[in-house]
Amino acid sequence: MGLLTDLRDSISRVVDRLFSESEPKRIGIYGPPNAGKTTLANRIARDWTGDAIGPESHIPHETRRARRKENVEIERNGKKVTIDIVDTPGVTTKVDYKEFLEHDMEKDDAVRRSREATEGVAEAMHWLREDVDGVVYVLDSTKDPISQVNTMLIGIIESQDLPVLIFANKIDLEDSNVERIANAYPQHETVELSALEGENMDEVYAKIAEYFG
Amino acid sequence: MPEATASDSTSDGVQIDLFSGNRMANLTSMEKIRLILDGVRDGNIVILEEGLSPDEESKLIEVTMAEISPDEFNGIEIETYPRSQTADQSFLDRLMGRQSTQKLTVIGPANQIQTLHKDENLISALVSRK
Ligand SMILES: Nc1nc2c(ncn2[C@@H]2O[C@H](COP(=O)(O)OP(=O)(O)O)[C@@H](O)[C@H]2O)c(=O)[nH]1
Ligand SMILES: [Mg+2]
């Protein structure tokens, strides 16, 4: 009896370790358009693997399809975690190709972009329900964090019981307000950073290792 | 068919489809989403007395994305009341166990949502009916 329990315990320990070390956790980077998701994904990928994921841009929906970087090993404070980073397009409930026309684009191009954007958002939503092990939710800390889409998305993430970290990005900007984000979503941990300038990345990696490891 | 329809076809008013919780209770997720999107694509504002589950909201976004097409349909606006209008309320929500499904939900066509915002008395009238 005791032997069996011991055996079972040690087997489950081995299994646990196998899974936690060899199976990368798939971490989805979600958040509204222009929050800095791709900038963050690129910084993480560059810091730990040496190359980037995809283009960053001030044009909304530059990331039309989810992009992924696999087997990114992050090590902090003796904790090691292997993650697949999935950079998603900003989740939204509407896409109007005419918005792209404002960025000096031909109609054909704009329509194609908006189609890719809608496919990307649908894919990102699908992944959230099926394929993601944890979520980093990126917000632009110069903007009001409470929007219908943010509230809805965070509700969806919570209903999936996924571990989630809220990243208050763009703290290098003068009108950044991290407190406002922390107050809006007090049920989750908020980590401040500047993905562009690389500010506070030590804490970012420590939290990623802690939450998703 | 909607539970109640307030329509003003003589002026440029909007049609509102109001679905009670009872009406929605026996529908599958996809049936609910179809009902909502059919209404919205007709240019109506759809009001759900009891809102959707997070999973249904996620599917609603996914299906909406699949149906967006240039010059025809560019998506939805969705607002829920009274949940999380301000930081204070979301704190209250948590106190009350934020899983409450009794959140009045208003969904409208994205290109007509000005109408929804402009007409705030309409929304508060509906909220206070609860
Ligand atoms: N000032 C500042 N700008 C940033 C920061 N992170 C991203 N940006 C800028 O915000 C814009 C959108 O960034 P991007 O990563 O493409 O956003 P995404 O749509 O969420 O993927 C780009 O112009 C970035 O250079 C940051 O930490 N500080
Ligand atoms: Mg992006």
A17 domain-assigned:
no
Question: Looking at residues B41-50, what average pLDDT do you find?
Answer: 90
CA of A35 to the centre of ligand 1 (A): 6
What is the Cα–Cα distance from B114 to B101, expressed in whole angstroms? 26
Residue closest by Cα to atom 14 of ligand 1: A36
Question: Looking at residues B65-76, what average pLDDT do you find?
Answer: 94
Q: What is the reported pLDDT for A20? A: 54
Per-residue confidence band for B88, with pLDDT thresholds at 50, 70 and 90: very low
Average pLDDT, whole number, for chain B? Answer: 74
Q: Which residues 29-48 of B have a C-beta within 8 angstroms of A?
A: none
Q: What is the reported pLDDT for B86? A: 42
Q: What is the CATH number of the domain that holds A38?
A: 3.40.50.300
Instruction: Classify B67 as helix, strand or coil.
Output: helix
**Cα four-point dihedral sign B76, B36, A139, A42:** negative
Record: contact A95-B54, CB cut-off 8 A: no
Q: What is the reported pLDDT for B85? A: 41
- The per-residue pLDDT string of chain A (213 residues; one tens digit each, 9 = 90 and over) reads 566 666 666 666 655 555 555 578 899 999 998 999 999 999 999 999 877 777 778 777 777 777 788 889 998 888 888 899 989 888 889 999 888 888 878 899 999 989 998 999 999 999 899 889 999 999 999 999 988 889 999 999 999 999 999 999 999 999 999 999 999 999 999 999 999 999 999 999 999 999 998
Is-contact A30 A88, C-beta < 8 A? yes
Which domain range does residue A46 map to?
22-212
Q: Which two tokens stand for residue B53?
A: 């589950």
ipTM comes to: 0.81
Record: contact B70-A114, CB cut-off 8 A: yes
Per-residue confidence band for B80, with pLDDT thresholds at 50, 70 and 90: confident
What is the Cα–Cα distance from B21 to B47, expressed in whole angstroms? 10
What is the Cα–Cα distance from A37 to A39, expressed in whole angstroms? 5
Q: Is the CB of A176 under 6 A from ligand 1?
A: no
- For residue A170, which ligand has an atom nearest its CA? 1
A47 domain-assigned:
yes
Q: How many CB atoms within 10 Å of residue B58?
A: 24
- CA dist list (Å): A162 to A5, A6, A83, A98, A156: 30, 31, 15, 35, 10
Q: Put residue A198 in one of left, alpha, beta given phi > 0 → left and psi -120 to 50 → alpha.
A: left
**Percent of chain B surpassing pLDDT 90:** 34
Q: What is the reported pLDDT for A68? A: 82
- CA dist list (Å): A109 to A32, A33, A103, A104, A120: 23, 19, 11, 10, 16
Over A86-133, what HEC string results?
EECCCCCCECCHHHHHCCCCCHHHHHHHHHHHHHHHHHHHHHHHHCCC
- For residue A138, which ligand has an atom nearest its CA? 1
- Residues A136, A140, A144, CA angle at the centre, nearest 5°? 115
A123 domain-assigned:
yes
